[in-house]
Chain A
């Protein structure tokens, strides 16, 4: 069991570039989440998918899009990166009302 995996681990973008962060889980979890973590801000929810085929906005969805490709995979896309999107991004998954399991994170810098 790999748990929750994320790619890439690090990424540097220029303002205006686009990229997709990939997340996959092998625990047969229904719900998947994307968070960003900034110093002093804790974890803020960007988007989540309660089950395959559904996605919903979280606290800070502006500038992002998501795709729940199948039960295992949930991707996060930045269409036109901005310096304000410099952050550490975590993907998480969860089975029903149990705890969330987190991936190792992606450190993104936008210049």
Chain B
């Protein structure tokens, strides 16, 4: 059965800290992995990683795909209180079906 597992489930850090969030997956014929940030309402898109694009960066956020380990990490450097949110990982499964399987998310709280 295809599945996506995120860790840790929750995390509390202080402003300025660096955090690493993990996503591991078991899917047949991997095509893409997405990261989303969810504050109070709808998830907003951060990154898409594919076989041809295994590393993405935007400002203080970066993400890497490890196809050998079937996992991805999301790094946030110099965290700010505005980074407090649930971070969701999703993997397309099976390829070509247009369906995504979401992990349960990591709840990040950044203290001032």
Contacts and interface: CB of A to CB of B under 8 A. Distances in A.
Chains A and B belong together in one complex: yes
Contact of A100 (B45, B97, B103): B45
Interface in A32-47: 33, 35, 40-45
A31 B98 contact: yes
Contacts of B104: 40-42
Contacts, number: 48
Contact of A48 (B42, B90, B98): B98
Interface string B74-112: 000000000000001010100001111111110000000
Nearest to A58: B99
A99 B88 contact: no
Interface residues of A, number: 25
Given A42-B88, A50-B97, A101 B102 contact: no
Nearest to A32: B98
Interface residues of B, number: 21
B88 A104 contact: no
A59 B105 CA distance: 17
A41 B98 CA distance: 21
B34 A99 contact: yes
A50 B42 contact: no
A43 B99 contact: no
Contacts of B103: 42
The 4 closest A-B pairs by CB, nearest first: A102-B42, A42-B104, A43-B102, A99-B45
Interface of B: 31-32, 34, 41-45, 48, 88, 90, 92, 97-105
16 contacts: A40-B104, A42-B104, A43-B43, A44-B102, A45-B99, A45-B101, A50-B97, A58-B99, A94-B98, A98-B48, A100-B45, A100-B100, A102-B43, A102-B44, A103-B42, A105-B42
